[in-house]
Amino acid sequence: MQIVSGRARLTAEEVIDLYDASGWGRRSDYLPESIGKALANTQILIQARLNHRLIGLLRAFSDGVLTTHLSEILVHPAFRGQGVGTALMRALLSQHPITALYVDSFPENQRFFEKFGLRRRDLLRSMSASGYEWKEALSSIGGPLKAP
């Protein structure tokens, strides 16, 4: 397995294939142009490849000083439990060792992140909204904000 930092050789199509294989929606749910733009705008990309095949992906954002936010970590189902996710996390932590790391996790993945010193914080709550949800909420409180 090879761990690759950055966008080298990464295509939107293979990311969509990874999402599809992992149950993160169907291939038809994603537009290659949109995924390509998301990848281009991602600050930290770390790939796991086996014989040039994308088998894992980590995306994150960091200010390089205070905080790093893990956007997603995904391993192809055929390669789970083989150290791929651990290798991706090690690469992230070696690149951003001094920042606090924030992760939203499904309950079944919590123990994975605990291996890296992360722990559940009772005072913090994860919150999210889809683009449709926050636009609807914004319109219900008086419409779009205007620049000063």
Q: Which domains does the chain have, with CATH numbers?
A: 2-121 (3.40.630.30)
pTM for this prediction: 0.87
What does the pLDDT read at residue 33? 96
Cα dihedral: 112, 59, 11, 40 (round 10): 180
What does the pLDDT read at residue 139? 79
Query: Tens place of pLDDT for every residue, the chain, 148 residues?
Result: 999 999 999 999 999 999 999 998 899 999 999 999 999 999 999 999 999 999 999 999 999 899 999 999 999 999 999 999 999 999 999 988 888 999 998 889 999 999 999 998 888 888 878 777 877 877 788 755 565 5
> Left, alpha or beta for 29 (phi > 0: left; psi -120 to 50: alpha)?
alpha
Neighbours of 59 (CB within 10 A): 20
What does the pLDDT read at residue 70? 95
What does the pLDDT read at residue 135? 77
Give just the sign of the alpha carbon dihedral 31, 33, 37, 42. positive
What does the pLDDT read at residue 46? 98
What does the pLDDT read at residue 146? 60
What does the pLDDT read at residue 97? 80
What does the pLDDT read at residue 40? 96
